[in-house]
Amino acid sequence: MVEHSAIAQLAAAMSDEPAPIYQRVKQAIISQIRAGSWKANQRVPSESELVNELGVSRMTINRALRELTSEGFLVRMQGVGTFVAEMKGYTAMLEVHNIADEITQRGHQHRCQILAIGQNKADPEQAAVLGLSTGQTIFHSLIVHYEDDLPVQLEDRLVNPLVAPDYLSQDYHQLTPYTYLMQVAPLTAGEHIVEAVLPDARQRKYLSLDDHEPCLLIRRQTWSDTKIVTYARLLYPGSRYKLLGRFKGHG
């Protein structure tokens, strides 16, 4: 049971603008949380209480609470109740796009140089990142991406040949490895790590960098279904590339 005041406050917070009921219920609850009237871990009125007090059917209340739960405002436990979720600080997001799209979207020209492409027997480290066994054949490619004649990314990629058997016979001047892999094996999940590193001599040469110029390194593993499709090491000159992200708080 929740004190009467909580529901009275909520009823007062219900706007009477012409909007769907479940939306107004959601907004009213959000405003209670934002204003601090309902604090983290505090219990929220039960569905049946809300039904009685707001005079709305349970399916409508349920939809409002369910959506707020999936949006991270509430936590629900069957048999227990509904509670205000803890704001775990924020988890802001950075979007990481396909390099070719990013460049053309900026209105610049993308072109690339293929430094190497081929196959080899996987050493233990390579096998591990692709989820294969040591000694199995794997594909690899090394490509520099240019934005209007300025190198902006060195793409060092390992590919699982079981997933993309025709990887070696594509023309990567026409489409990026990423785009090709998306076509043959739509990705279902991925993981990446962003860090700052100093490139080695060979990398500096390919990216036309001076000594001691730092780089962003993104290491990315991509799954399709249960198989690892590819492992990529994307190296960006720190002076020429930045990751940009926006985020919204709860709401």
Partner DNA sequence: CAGTGGTCTAGACCACGAA
Partner DNA sequence: TCGTGGTCTAGACCACTGC
The DSSP secondary-structure symbol of 181 reads H
244 binds, among a copy of itself, DNA, none (CB under 5 to 8 A by kind): a copy of itself
48 binds, among a copy of itself, DNA, none (CB under 5 to 8 A by kind): DNA
For tokens 């499709």, the residue is 229
Tokens representing 27 are 């907004």
99: Cα separation from own chain's centroid: 16
Per-residue string for binding with a copy of itself, 146-165, x by CB under 8 A?
--------------------
- Rounded Cα–Cα distance for residues 15 and 200 (Å): 61
79 binds, among a copy of itself, DNA, none (CB under 5 to 8 A by kind): DNA
DSSP 9-59: HHHHH---SSS-HHHHHHHHHHHHHHHTSS-TTPEEPPHHHHHHHHT--HH
- Rounded Cα–Cα distance for residues 116 and 142 (Å): 5
CB 37 to a copy of itself: min, Å: 13
CB 41 to a copy of itself: min, Å: 16
Site for a copy of itself, residues 174 to 193, rule: CB under 8 A: 178-179, 182, 186-193
172 binds, among a copy of itself, DNA, none (CB under 5 to 8 A by kind): none
Residues contributing to the site for a copy of itself (CB under 8 A)? 34, 59, 87-98, 101, 178-179, 182, 186-198, 212-216, 220, 236, 238, 241-251
